[in-house]
């Protein structure tokens, strides 16, 4: 049996009138559309089981199982005896790789009305089928997907009671059917839906009427059972391979076989008092290396990305016996990174259910439903059951394969690019609760292009891999916000990676970190924890000052200089010695040269021998008060970054941990951070970040408290608007719980400015209308920066001269916005600004109390049903819309807006206001007319001969429009002709006048230029006798197209 899509029809013929059709032409037509239908399913939707097709053997125990009743029968009431001892399969839907749409079927026999004839109907609208009988399945139709070495595997066909009764009524042999309850090991059987497709031989045409002849295309759905072990053999050794199922099943089997791995936390306790004990804690947490190696080996083999050296490298890098004191923390971090990537890969393995162009030959005529009674609960996998393999157009799962490939490569790159670095302390913004690829690239990698290309899928996909953040910026984008991200918005980051401090003296590390924290205004704190007291400082410090030799200082400086100049030196040792020298050199500002002794000596006096510049605490004492230390290679926003060192004497930083909150000297700390140090008087209140969260914060100027702090929802805010003008420009200081903090603030005054529009002068060129507007500016001062926005896309930015600025507005044609909303932003020397919003300026196409709207109505008798709705529209609907423009003056509207009847049908004469003098204000003329029989054109045309009345009327109108009706306002007049349905000749005439398309109506006898300039419009096919709301819509639409703003 061949698949339909093995050979598709790519064309068909269109039929001609009275054509004699051949069977080939008809079949070609059917085949083409059937192929397209099948291809649409398989290529654009997907293949496999869409839903349903759950099965169970319904015995007495199942009838009492609430879960079965819910899952199989959806809670519906059933008669148990109808289902007892049957295989129940729920209705479902599926698509084969040949594009067959499969659902369960139910055949019934019905008697044709008013006859004894019986027909068989096939139904699909039901919830379940109950299969009671079975027999061995044999078929003459060869289907290689059921064959091993050309021999069909043992299969059982099952049928329902209805099928059995129908076969029996038709006289078919049913003796070989048996009850399914007699099948041994029924739960080891899998269910297969098989679409038995074949073509019956064509019946011979013996009668004169051969219309019913032709080969019948049969498609019988068979429900089959097969032994699960045999089915697995069939998949591996069958004559035809189900490549699609095997591929995706391989991913599911890989998922099941991968070890479950999570990184152990490094948990500190009071028993840790030496560096080796701390190191052991990190060692003990690197506990799953063999499982990690085994798991990744299986993954890389499955995706053909094997790297024969990678396993050895992982084992070597994470071998706890070889970890040095200097970088064991970073190797633990590498271990965590590798596990994160491993678990991310594993999490995607069950989300590959997408296939572009699934193989037609995978399961062209069958679907596997899994074992009888197999559980299909959410998250549970069922063997020997086809999933639904989506087309990529319906899912994003196809991207998951690319993600996994990238993650595997990233895993390999991380192993190969791990490197111990020496460099300055740096802080890089990152995120904590996200996948690794969305975090900054750590310090301990060689951040080259291959690693960046595999780090973040979304960025690599959009060619932005160099926009990842990292300690190492050489290979990143040159954009400053990538090179120096802390200078820019970091709202989207909740974590700061702090790197480069391991091995430094903790005094140096703290100083460097604090310098960066202050420079970039970062909300976290730093503290130092010691493992032991070491060489404890003597409380009874000598009173004698310490002496230093200049010669000794010189020798130490030369020694350090030599170390720095060496290409390969002990970086950590050099930096450690340099830190000690720096500490001594800082004391020179306390030196006294009058002391006795050699002139080569300088007596150095310490400021206070008992005062410690950096507060430290024993780890054991700290843990008595606080817990929750986590090693994160950085700190969260608002957290505490903790450096671990052995002692004051052995002060190199060994590791770092953090707390997600600020903490904590033995005295409760106070801390205040503001997002800015200068504000303008009208800026919005800013949130104050402080510790303790419930502390009391106060603001002072020269020791005088000012009431500029508000509280809302438990959050303190500093409101610059509450600072009096007397304090502008002065330094504001703060206290928290009456303890002074370093944070300061300055409030600057904003400029005071007002702008009023003055004289408006309209230009007289109707073809290029313009208006010159004068703006009067008060409050002008030298040093102010002026930024004008005239609301017309102009780039003009004039400086006031004698308090005045002029601007030319170029007015457009129909549809041009006629109301301008200019603004002026003024910035003073302190960077504070004021934006002044002027009242809207109306420069053209004005509707106001002085606007007359004449609505002319053709009263010659052929469109009388239009008059009543026009009057109703004018008196009510249009009035409601326009009344605000008439200042809500009803009398003014009633006077200025009129419906005027005329009967002489001289369209362009009424468009010309019937020759009346131009009234004050401005005018809009609306003309409703359906024909101008004889006065302008014959009733049935043609329109080729202009009438004298037409010629004189249109020339008079053109002259008045060109002269702006004797006014100096190019926007004084607008007109609209509404051609009412009824006469084709009149419509043709209006079109000829509008666009000059008829040779009989050259430019002097048409309104083409006036229409293009937006002076007149033509609206066609207006129904006679429309309801008033429709006329309102047409009128408002026309006015808006002319450029008027209608509320």
286 touches 335 (CB < 8 A):
yes
**What digits encode the pLDDT tens for the residues 948-990?**
999 999 999 999 999 999 887 778 899 999 999 989 999 999 9
Q: Report the run of H or E that residue 109 belongs to, with start and end.
A: strand 106-111
pLDDT average, residue stretch 514-541: 81
What was the pLDDT predicted at 846? Answer: 66
Measuring CA to CA, which residue among 477, 478, 517, 510 is closest to residue 496? 517
Following DSSP, what letter does each residue of 840-889 receive, concatenated?
PEE-SS--STTEEEEEEEE-SSSSGGGHHHHHHIIIIIHHHHHGGGGTT-
d(CA 124, CA 102): 10
The yes-or-no verdict on residue 377 having pLDDT over 80 is no
Percent residues over pLDDT 90 in the chain = 59
Q: How far is CA 15 from CA 11, 20, 116, 395, 773, in A?
A: 13, 9, 40, 40, 71
d(CA 686, CA 676): 9
Query: In this structure, what token pair is assigned to residue 235?
Result: 């998949």
DSSP state for residue 625 in the 8-state scheme = H
What was the pLDDT predicted at 602? Answer: 47
Arithmetic mean of pLDDT over the chain = 87
Instruction: Specify the higher pLDDT residue, 422 or 592.
Output: 422
The yes-or-no verdict on residue 537 having pLDDT over 80 is no
Burial of 173-199, coded b for 16+ CB within 10 Å and e otherwise, reads eeeebeebeebeebeebbbbbbbbbee
Query: Beta strand 754-762 with 106-111: parallel, antiparallel or unpaired?
Result: unpaired
The yes-or-no verdict on residue 194 having pLDDT over 50 is yes
What was the pLDDT predicted at 766? Answer: 44
- φ, ψ of residue 67 to 5 degrees: the values are -65, -40
What was the pLDDT predicted at 697? Answer: 94
CATH of domain 671-748: 2.60.40.10
Lowest mean per-residue pLDDT among 766-770, 823-827, 847-851: 766-770
What was the pLDDT predicted at 497? Answer: 97
Instruction: Decide if 671-748 and 851-1042 have a common fold.
Output: no
**Residue ranges of domains in the chain:** 50-201+214-240+363-381, 259-348+387-418, 506-535+613-659, 546-604, 671-748, 754-842, 851-1042
**What digits encode the pLDDT tens for the residues 196-241?**
987 776 665 555 556 656 677 778 999 999 999 999 999 999 999 9
**What digits encode the pLDDT tens for the residues 638-657?**
999 999 999 999 999 999 99
d(CA 851, CA 845): 10
Architecture, CATH, for domain 754-842: Sandwich (2.60)
Query: In this structure, what token pair is assigned to residue 518?
Result: 């202050």
Architecture, CATH, for domain 851-1042: 3-Layer(aba) Sandwich (3.40)
What was the pLDDT predicted at 608? Answer: 39
User: What number of H helices and E strands is found in the chain?
Assistant: 26, 49
The yes-or-no verdict on residue 771 having pLDDT over 50 is yes
What was the pLDDT predicted at 603? Answer: 42
Q: Report the run of H or E that residue 415 belongs to, with start and end.
A: helix 397-417
What is the pTM assigned to this prediction? 0.59
| Angle (CA) 438 439 444, round 5° | 135
For the chain, the first-to-last Cα distance in angstroms comes to: 72
d(CA 121, CA 462): 56
Instruction: Specify the higher pLDDT residue, 202 or 798.
Output: 798
d(CA 641, CA 510): 10
Measuring CA to CA, which residue among 67, 40, 36, 38 is closest to residue 54? 67
DSSP state for residue 503 in the 8-state scheme = T
At 379, the pLDDT band (50, 70, 90 cuts) reads: low
What was the pLDDT predicted at 578? Answer: 64
**What digits encode the pLDDT tens for the residues 608-638?**
343 445 888 999 999 988 889 999 999 999 9
439 touches 494 (CB < 8 A):
no
- φ, ψ of residue 524 to 5 degrees: the values are -155, 170
d(CA 751, CA 788): 15
């Amino acid at each position: 049996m061949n698949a339909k899509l093995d050979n598709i029809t790519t064309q068909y013929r269109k039929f001609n009138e009275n054509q004699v059709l051949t069977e080939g032409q008809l079949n070609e037509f059917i085949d083409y559309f059937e192929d397209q239908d099948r291809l649409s399913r398989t290529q654009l939707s997907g293949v496999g089981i869409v839903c349903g097709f759950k099965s169970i053997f319904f015995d007495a125990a199942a009838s009492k199982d609430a879960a079965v009743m819910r899952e199989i029968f959806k809670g519906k009431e059933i008669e148990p005896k109808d289902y007892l001892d049957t295989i129940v399969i729920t209705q479902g839907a599926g698509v084969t790789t040949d594009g067959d749409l499969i659902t369960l079927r139910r055949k019934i026999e019905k008697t044709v009305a008013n006859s004894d004839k019986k027909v068989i109907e096939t139904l699909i609208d039901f919830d379940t089928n109950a299969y009671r009988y079975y027999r061995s399945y044999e078929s003459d139709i060869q289907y290689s997907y059921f064959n091993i070495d050309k021999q069909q595997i043992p299969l059982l066909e099952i049928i329902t009671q209805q099928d059995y009764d129908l076969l029996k009524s038709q006289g078919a042999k049913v003796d070989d059917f048996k009850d399914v309850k007699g099948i041994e090991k029924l739960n080891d059987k899998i269910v297969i839906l098989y679409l038995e497709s074949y073509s019956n031989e064509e019946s011979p045409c013996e009668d004169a009427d051969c219309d019913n002849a032709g080969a019948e295309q049969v498609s019988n759905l068979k429900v089959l059972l097969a032994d699960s072990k045999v089915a697995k053999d069939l998949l591996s050794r069958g004559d035809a391979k189900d490549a699609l199922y095997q591929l995706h099943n391989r991913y599911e089997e890989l998922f099941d076989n991968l070890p479950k791995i999570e990184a152990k936390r490094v948990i500190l306790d009071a028993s840790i008092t030496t560096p080796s004990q701390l190191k052991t804690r990190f060692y003990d947490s690197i506990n799953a290396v063999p499982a990690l190696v085994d798991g990744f080996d299986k993954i890389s083999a499955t995706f053909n990305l094997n790297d024969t050296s990678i396993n050895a490298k992982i084992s070597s890098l994470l071998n706890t016996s070889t970890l040095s004191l200097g970088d064991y923390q970073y190797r633990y971090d590498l271990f965590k990174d590798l596990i994160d990537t491993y678990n991310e890969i594993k999490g995607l393995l069950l989300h590959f259910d997408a296939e572009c162009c699934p193989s037609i030959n995978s399961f062209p005529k069958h679907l596997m439903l899994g074992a009888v009674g197999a559980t299909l609960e959410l998250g549970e996998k069922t063997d020997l059951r086809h999933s639904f393999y989506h087309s990529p157009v319906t899912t994003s799962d196809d991207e998951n394969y690319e993600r996994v490939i990238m993650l595997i490569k990233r895993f390999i790159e991380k192993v190969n690019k791990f490197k111990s670095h020496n460099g300055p302390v740096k802080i890089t913004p990152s995120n904590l609760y996200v996948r690794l690829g969305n975090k900054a690239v750590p310090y301990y990698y060689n951040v080259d292009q291959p690693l960046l290309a595999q780090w973040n899928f979304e960025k690599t996909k959009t060619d932005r891999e160099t926009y990842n953040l990292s300690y190492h910026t050489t290979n990143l984008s040159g954009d400053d916000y990538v090179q120096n991200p802390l200078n820019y918005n970091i709202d989207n980051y909740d974590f700061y990676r702090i790197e480069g401090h391991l091995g430094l003296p903790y005094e140096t590390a703290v100083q460097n970190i604090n310098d960066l924290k202050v420079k970039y205004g970062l909300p976290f704190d730093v503290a130092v924890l010691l493992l032991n007291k070491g060489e404890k400082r003597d409380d009874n410090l000598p009173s004698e000052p310490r002496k230093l030799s200049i010669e000794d200082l010189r020798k130490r400086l030369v020694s350090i200089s030599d170390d720095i100049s060496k290409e390969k030196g002990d970086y950590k040792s050099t930096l450690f010695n340099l830190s000690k020298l720096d500490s001594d050199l800082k004391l020179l500002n306390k030196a006294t040269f009058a002391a006795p002794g050699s002139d080569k000596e300088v007596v150095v006096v310490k400021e206070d021998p008992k005062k410690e510049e950096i507060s430290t605490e024993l780890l054991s004492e700290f843990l008595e008060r606080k817990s929750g230390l986590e090693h994160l290679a950085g700190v969260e926003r608002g957290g505490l970054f903790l450096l671990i060192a052995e002692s004051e004497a052995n002060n190199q930083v060994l590791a770092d941990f953090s707390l997600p909150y600020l903490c904590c000297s033995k005295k409760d700390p106070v801390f205040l951070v503001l997002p800015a140090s200068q504000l303008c008087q009208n800026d919005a209140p800013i949130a104050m970040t402080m510790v303790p969260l419930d502390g009391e914060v106060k603001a002072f100027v020269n020791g005088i408290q000012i009431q500029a702090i508000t509280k809302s929802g438990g959050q303190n805010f500093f409101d610059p608007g509450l600072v009096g003008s007397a304090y502008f420009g002065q330094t504001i200081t703060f206290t928290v719980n009456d303890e002074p903090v370093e944070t300061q603030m300055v409030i600057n005054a904003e400029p005071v400015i007002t702008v009023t529009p003055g004289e408006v002068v309209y230009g007289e060129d109707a073809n290029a209308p313009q208006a010159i507007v004068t703006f009067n500016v008060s409050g002008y001062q030298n040093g102010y920066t002026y930024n004008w926005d005239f609301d017309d896309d102009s780039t003009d930015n004039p400086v006031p001269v004698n308090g005045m600025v002029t601007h030319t507005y170029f007015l457009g044609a129909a549809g041009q916005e006629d109301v301008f909303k200019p603004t002026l932003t003024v910035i003073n020397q302190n960077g504070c600004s004021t934006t002044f919003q002027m009242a809207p300026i109306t420069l053209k196409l004005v509707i106001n109390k002085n606007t007359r709207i004449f609505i002319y109505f053709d009263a010659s008798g052929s469109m009388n049903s239009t008059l009543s709705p026009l009057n109703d529209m004018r008196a009510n609907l249009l009035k409601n819309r326009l009344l605000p423009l008439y200042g809500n003056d009803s009398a003014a509207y009633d006077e200025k807006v009129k419906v005027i009847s005329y009967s002489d049908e001289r369209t362009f004469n009424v468009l010309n206001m019937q020759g009346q003098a131009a009234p004050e204000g401005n005018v809009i003329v609306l003309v409703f007319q359906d024909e101008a029989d004889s006065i302008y054109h014959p009733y049935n045309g043609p329109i080729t001969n202009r009438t004298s009345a037409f010629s004189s009327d249109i020339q008079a109108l053109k002259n008045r429009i060109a002269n702006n009706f004797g006014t100096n306002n190019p926007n004084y007049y607008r007109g609209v002709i509404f051609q009412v349905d009824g006469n084709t000749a009149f419509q043709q005439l209006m079109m000829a006048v509008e666009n000059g398309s008829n040779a009989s109506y050259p430019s002097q006898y048409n309104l083409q230029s006036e229409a293009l300039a937006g002076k007149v419009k033509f609206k066609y096919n207006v129904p006679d006798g429309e309801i008033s709301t429709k006329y309102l819509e047409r009128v408002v639409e026309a006015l808006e197209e002319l450029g008027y703003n209608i509320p």
